Chain A
Amino acid sequence: MSNLIPLPDAEAQCRQLAELIRPQLAKNPALVGIFSGGAWIAERLKQLLGLSEEIGLIDVSFYRDDFSAKGLHPQCRPTVIPFDVEGRHIILVDDVLYTGRTTRAAINELFDYGRPAAVELAVLADRGGRELPVAATWGAWEVTLEAGQNLVLARDDHGQLAWRLENA
């Protein structure tokens, strides 16, 4: 029946997330979005928070723990970290927090650029099902889904973000 769960407005959730993060601005945080959904959200947060610094983008393909089973993702993109990670307050941004494995991979990759002062995690949706001790610092939406369901963030031609529910 969870096929029928109402899908909230992802753009409104971005605004909500921005307000949760706003009190942190005094720490001069740097945003790092995880491809692809997290990168779109980080870009949106940058606008909403009025940050001037370019955001970082992480593709965790080279750090995944399922390489032996699945091989290299056929469409990996370059990770781009346009600032010095050393000593920075980093906010990792992802669309859906699920097993926690992507977050683990992203943190590992981040540390190859330097030792950040702190890493926090902002997500649009937390669907539970964790397989690692990972928790989001900020989340806009807690949702329970069946194992075969995929929550997918999409971006249309006008750059608007919206949720879609897919059955695997």
Chain B
Amino acid sequence: MHNPQLNKDGQLIHLLSTEGLPRAVLTQILDTAESFMEVSAREVKKVPLLRGKSIFNLFFENSTRTRTTFEIAAKRLSADVINLDINKSSTAKGETLLDTIDNLCAMDANLFVVRHASSGAPYLIAEHLQRIGRDDIHVVNAGDGRHAHPTQGLLDMYTIRHYKKDFTQLRVAIVGDILHSRVARSDIHALTTLGVPEVRAIGPETLLPKHLDKLGVHVFHNMEEGLKDCDVVIMLRLQNERMNGALLPSAGEYFRHYGLTPQKLALAKPDAIVMHPGPMNRGVEIHSAVADGPQAVILPQVTFGIAVRMAVMGIVAGN
């Protein structure tokens, strides 16, 4: 099957999704990120790898953290970074997505980092670039609709590998609104490819997609049962609009059933780590005592995210 993310030699040219990426490519990204972690610990947090390259951050949907970490990552690679706040620019004047892309290509862009509310938008751009013969321009998906958020998935894998070393002995639980979560989808594909034997999805029936079992995921509606003996707990953000959309009764009710409290966390393994892609809703999906507790690795995730994004941009820009 044709995978638009890979060239004919199997090298990564775009990062659109963790789905369909071979284990060797995922491992290469994680290994390279480890080298970039060292760069971020230096006095001079910069390497000349992408000097002279122009990276355009195209955020058609708001995001502060992801855009900032992509910007820091690009700057640490010595690239020139241009942030486009598309909400306020040409799209608002009626320009199509691909016209915007053509214009940015004419400005000698080398790499697009794309966040879009529509699933598949980064694919559309990657295919367009191929069609117009610009295989020197690369696309990194920074989150598209409900579909994928591959750099978040990869930074989650980096975090798990950092604390747990070996993927092949782990029980990993993902808790919350998996139905609307591109992070969950990217995590599940990456975890499976990297050889995690047991991935669990925990949440109310209204927030879990059907057919999760086809991805090899074990489904739990009872959090106490689902957390039992887990090595890794990935909490997802509960978006406020879900409350209004009649999928859930109330934030308080949700917290009672699916909020991660110290009592519930005690059911997981004693050395289990707690992850969250941020931004957190304290008192909705996670108790402050857990978020600030010794098992939380939520802030290290942010730091790892910069190194992972440096690795992804460094790899695709060179292929």
Contacts and interface: CB of A to CB of B under 8 A. Distances in A.
Contact of A72 (B34, B42, B318): B318
- A-B pairs with the 7 shortest C-beta distances? A71-B318, A62-B47, A78-B38, A112-B44, A72-B318, A78-B35, A62-B49
B39 A62 contact: yes
B44 A77 contact: no
16 contacts: A59-B35, A61-B35, A62-B35, A68-B318, A71-B315, A71-B318, A72-B32, A72-B315, A74-B28, A75-B28, A75-B31, A78-B34, A78-B37, A109-B47, A112-B46, A113-B44
B interface, over-half SS: helix
Interface in A54-70: 59, 61-63, 67-68, 70
B11 interface: yes
Interface residues of B, number: 21
- Of B314, B317, B318, most A-chain CB atoms within 10 Å: B318
B44 A67 contact: no
B205 to A, nearest CB: 44
A71 B35 contact: no
Interface string A114-145: 10000000000000000000000000000000
A126 B43 CA distance: 33
A76 interface: yes
Contacts of B315: 71-72
A62 B314 CA distance: 9
A79 interface: yes
A109 B46 CA distance: 10
A81 to B, nearest CB: 8
Interface string B189-208: 00000000000000000000
A102 to B, nearest CB: 15
B49 A67 contact: yes
Interface in A33-52: none
Nearest to B311: A72
A80 interface: yes
Interface in B26-58: 28, 31-32, 34-35, 37-39, 42-44, 46-49
A33 to B, nearest CB: 15
A89 B315 CA distance: 34
A53 to B, nearest CB: 19
A71 B31 contact: no
A76 B31 contact: yes
B270 to A, nearest CB: 30
Nearest to B11: A71
A101 B171 CA distance: 47
